[in-house]
Amino acid sequence: MSIQIHAVSQSFHGKPVLEDINLTIEPNKIYGLLGRNGAGKSTLLNIISNRIFPSQGTITLDE
């Protein structure tokens, strides 16, 4: 199963957290998500897991 992230953006209280994120996560590979505090790592994972919804863009799960 692959995860395709296309043009995902998210903002909180008018402040952008994620801007135009494009990423494809392929099966049978290991990925790391690195960044400083406040970079949007948890926000991206919450969007992928459907806990919050992006302000714009799409997340697609393919099998």
Say how many C-beta atoms besides its own lie within 10 A of residue 40's C-beta.
18
**Rounded distance between C-alpha atoms, residue 45 and residue 57, angstroms:** 14
Mean pLDDT of the chain: 95
pTM of the model: 0.88
Output the CA angle 11-15-17, nearest 5 degrees.
50
Evaluate if residue 43 carries a pLDDT over 80.
yes
**Rounded distance between C-alpha atoms, residue 50 and residue 53, angstroms:** 6
What is the tens place of the pLDDT at every residue in 12-28? 999 999 999 999 999 99
